[in-house]
Structure 1
Amino acid sequence: MNSSLTKNRLVLTKEKHLSFKNSVLEIWNQLEFPKESDESWRKFPIGSVDWKELQFDPKEISTTGSENDDSILSAEIIDSILTAILKYTPKDYFAYLSLVAAANYEIFLLDEGDSFFSFEEEGDQPKHSVRIFYLQKGKTSKTQIQIQNNHTSDHLHMSSSLDFFIAEDNSYLEILDKETSDYDLYRFRNVCLLTQTDSHIKYHYYPIGGFRSKLFLDAHLLGKGAEVTVDGVSALGGRNLKDLDMEMYHHADHTTSKISYKAIVTDKSHHVFTGNLIIPPNLKKVTAHQESFNLSLNKKARAEANPKLEVLAEDVSCTHGATVGDIDEEQYFYLLSRGLTPEDSKALLVTAFYGETIHSIGFSEAVKLDLETRIKEILVGGK
Structure 2
Amino acid sequence: MNSSLKKQHHILNPKKRFQFCNTLVPEWEKLSLPTEKDESYRKFPIGSLDWKELGFDPQKKRELEEIADSENLTEDHVTGLIEPILSLVKEYLPKDYFTYLSLMLSKEFKVVVCEDGITTKQITLVGDGPKFCVRIFYIPSGKFSQIVLKTESNHDSDSLHIQNVLDVFVIDKDSQVEILDEENFDEDLIQFRTVLLLSKENTSVKFHYFPFGGFRSKFLLHSHLLGKGAEVSVDGVSALGKRNLKDLDMEMHHHADHTTSKISYKSIVTDKSHHIFTGNLIIPPNLKKVVAHQESFNLSLNKKARAEANPKLEVLAEDVSCTHGATVGDIDEEQYFYLLSRGLSPEESKSLLVTAFYGETIHNIGFSDEIKHDLESSIHTILVGGK
TM-score over 0.5 (shorter chain): yes
| SS of residue matched to 2:53 | coil
1:299-343 CA-partner distances (Å, limit 9, x unpaired): 000000000000000000000000000000111111111111111
Question: Aligned ranges for residues 1-383 of structure 1 at < 5 Å?
Answer: 7-62=7-62, 67=70, 68-381=72-385
Amino acid at match of 2:43: K
Segments of structure 1 that go 5 or more residues without pairing to the other structure are none
Whole-angstrom distance in 2 between the partners of 1:60 and 1:277 = 34
- In the alignment of these two chains, the number of paired residues is 378
Q: What's the offset of the Cα at 1:7?
A: 3.5
Letter in 2 for 1:380: V
2:7 touches 2:113 (CA, 8 Å); kept in 1? no
Q: State the SS of the aligned residue for 2:54.
A: coil
Residue identity in the other structure for 2:348: D
Question: What secondary structure sits across from 1:73 in the alignment?
Answer: helix
- One-letter code aligned to 1:213: S
TM-score by length of 2: 0.95
Runs (5+) with no aligned partner, structure 2: none
Q: Percent identity?
A: 62
Superposed CA offset, 1:134-172 (max 9, x none): 000000001100001011311100000110011100000
**Cα shift at 1:59:** 2.5
Length-normalised TM-score, structure 1: 0.96
8 Å contact kept, 1:8–1:72: no
Give the whole-Å Cα distance in 1 for the aligned partners of 2:344 and 2:280.
Answer: 41
Residues 214-270 of structure 1 deviation map (CA, whole Å, 9 limit, x = unaligned): 000000000000000000000000000000000000000000000000000000000
Aligned residues of 1:271 and 1:302 also touching (Cα < 8 A): yes
1:61 shift after superposition: 4.0
What secondary structure does 1:321 align onto?
strand
Q: CA deviation at 1:71?
A: 1.9
Partners of 1:7 and 1:254 lie apart in 2 by 34
| d(CA) in 2 for partners of 1:144, 1:105 | 19
Q: Give the aligned residue type for 2:30.
A: Q
CA distance in structure 2 between the partners assigned to 1:74 and 1:370 by the alignment: 34
Q: Stretches of 4+ moved more than 6 A in 1?
A: none
Q: Is the 8 A contact 2:148 2:181 kept in 1?
A: yes
Q: Which moved more, 1:183-192 or 1:108-117?
A: 108-117
How far did residue 273 of structure 1 move? 0.1
What is the distance in 1 between the residues matched to 2:233 and 2:57? 37
Provide the alpha-carbon RMSD of the alignment. 1.5
